Amino acid sequence: MVLHFLVKGRVQGVGFRWFVQREAAELGLRGWVRNTDRGHVEIVAAGEADLLAELKAALRKGSRGSRVDAVLEDELLESEGAQLGAFEIEGAW
């Protein structure tokens, strides 16, 4: 299963991407996380449905210092997850 999440709230500049990367890697998910130019955080994650549900629960809770106002979710085609590797942060320095 492949899901796209968009997390809205105070999620930039508070370590949220690193939080997501750690949570997803611990669950053994594939994919990426990155900031958007609108102040949100975007995630594409691939794995078993129960593990993706655990990630979604972590996204709703958020990292220390963050404030999550909304987690939007869309299911993607399985083929969109074919090229995903180990979970990584995109656009990090």
Q: Please say if 64 is a catalytic residue.
A: no
Q: Please say if 10 is a catalytic residue.
A: no
Residue 2 CB neighbour total at 10 angstroms: 20
Catalytic residue among 35, 38, 60, 64: 35
CA distances from residue 44 to 36, 37, 65, 73 in whole angstroms, order as listed: 13, 17, 23, 10
Interatomic CA distance for residues 3 and 46, integer angstroms? 6
Catalytic residue among 17, 30, 34, 38: 17
Annotated catalytic residues are: 17, 35
